[in-house]
Amino acid sequence: MEQLGNSNSKYILALDLGTTGNRAFIFDTKAKIIGQAYKELTQYYPQPGWLEHNPQQIWQDTCWVMENAIANAKISPDTIAAIGLTVQRETCLLWNKTTGKPLHNAIVWQDRRTAPLCNQLQTQGYSQEISDRTGLVIDAYFSATKLRWLLDHLGDVDLNNVLAGTIDSWILWNLTGGKVHATDHSNASRTMLMNLASCNWDEKLLNLLQIPPHILPQIQPSLGNFGVTDARILGTEISITAILGDQQAALFGHGCNAPGLMKCTYGTGSFLVAHTGCEIVRSPQQLLSTVAWTQKHQNGNLQIDYALEGSMFTSGACIQWLRDGIKLIHTAAETETMTNQVEDNGGVYFVPALSGLGAPHWDMSARGAFFGITASVQSEHIVRSVLEAIAYQVKEVVAAINISSSTPIAKLTVDGGACENNFLMQFQADLLGIPVERPHVRDITVQGVGYAAGIAAGFWDSYEELVGKREIERVFEPRQDREEILDNFATWQKAVERAKNWTE
């Protein structure tokens, strides 16, 4: 790859703009974190099943976390070699390219308002064609129907003055002072508008959903040149050399760069991603075929790394709901303490379909539910059932990947906020019957895009050397007796089927 950025600089700035908050990390030449900042993001729920973010708040918070991470690291912005950007995927918005003002709140990936349009597309017989072209299933999760909804609710607006994009495009456009309207292949592959084989916007799908191609960002390699920051933002121009979807960034950070390697991120949702090499692998188990990352070689050829993914919409969000929704806990850490106070789940099973069900069910109409509640059930049982459900979802997707792959999964590498929970990780190991490996640095997503930006900028020479320095904090080994836990898993699967048919 051509060298980007300032090779004389000493640091990498990595931005991770997630669903529940935005963060910035500063890495030194040894890939050590020397400064960071985080700010929680406001969630807006206009109607049941709808979720929005304020794009202006995301941009303002991005500036805030950058400035505070730099201040905490006690460095000057002009010593930063490059910036890497990773974001919550599928969340999208429209904005006015003259004023820079959003035309509506961003519609978040969890939002289900476009389920009727998705059902219509399925009824019209587009499921197989869309799967063949994009590697995805028809679902409100993806950006395409969200963009159609936004365009339908614009009113009388000149589309020649409108730009569309996912959060990476919005932030990149602002970082560059409105000069660059682009995205990378990993984020574009999650829109249900990019052809997975050609890695370009798919003309037939754009026509189907009546999305004007001129409003969409240019698709570029994940590791490459995305321009420089406007000097007015941090006082100097800094090269932006990597953009990745958050799950792909975590895959990169874990060193999963070859077939058979995989990771699970326990964030707002749980995302199990397996690297599948430079060929598209299709799954009969409704897993998603997606782009892991792309980069151009010096000869100009584009290298495309692909992956299989199981996306489970609600995991950490369940714990947030326990805290903010029904106020059963005050902090996420309490869940481990409460769970350890009871011997079992008290017969309670939770179906975490707060935003429908993702892989392998893909049921937009399913709703969250508790089953098995009796008069003896205490709050601790409720909390335990929620943690168990997070692990059960992952078990389903691991089973699906094992069916789709010739090599069974031998180890699960984990990251994300919920992996802090020792009960959950031990329960996951027991359930899967394989070791669960937890690295010392939990924020693998931001670390991954930091690695990508540094490698693209010529700041680091060896990816293998970087990931080889990762420290493993703990390995959870499976315990011998799995009969009871597998029986409970089978009972939970029955509960899921009941939740999928809750209106019948």
Q: Among residues 362, 360, 322, which one has the least CA distance to residue 339?
A: 322
CA of 125: how far to CAs of 120, 193, 201, 210, 357, in Å?
9, 17, 21, 17, 21
- Distance in angstroms (rounded) separating the CA atoms of residues 318 and 354: 8
- Distance in angstroms (rounded) separating the CA atoms of residues 257 and 237: 31
Cβ-in-10-Å burial (0-12, 13-18, 19+) of 74 comes to exposed
Q: What is the pLDDT of residue 8?
A: 60
- Distance in angstroms (rounded) separating the CA atoms of residues 183 and 185: 7
331: number of Cβ within 10 Å? 9
- Compute the half-sphere exposure of residue 45: CA atoms within 13 Å on the CB side of its CA: 7
Place of tokens 């959950």: 424
- First-last CA distance in the chain: 57
**Which stretch of DSSP H or E encloses residue 392?**
helix 379-404
pTM for the full predicted model: 0.83
- Distance in angstroms (rounded) separating the CA atoms of residues 269 and 274: 16
Instruction: Write the single-letter amino acid at 161.
Output: N
What does each of the 504 residues of the chain score in pLDDT, given as a tens digit? 444 544 567 999 999 999 889 999 999 999 899 999 999 999 999 998 899 999 999 999 999 999 999 999 999 999 999 999 999 999 999 999 999 999 999 999 989 899 999 999 999 999 999 999 999 989 898 999 999 999 999 878 888 999 999 999 999 999 999 999 999 999 999 999 999 999 999 999 999 999 999 999 999 999 999 999 999 999 999 999 999 999 999 999 988 888 878 889 888 888 888 888 888 888 877 888 999 999 988 788 899 999 988 878 788 888 989 999 889 889 988 999 999 999 999 999 999 988 888 878 878 788 899 999 999 999 999 999 999 999 999 999 888 888 876 677 788 899 888 888 999 999 999 999 999 999 887 788 899 999 999 999 989 988 888 888 888 899 999 986 778 888 999 999 999 998 886 665
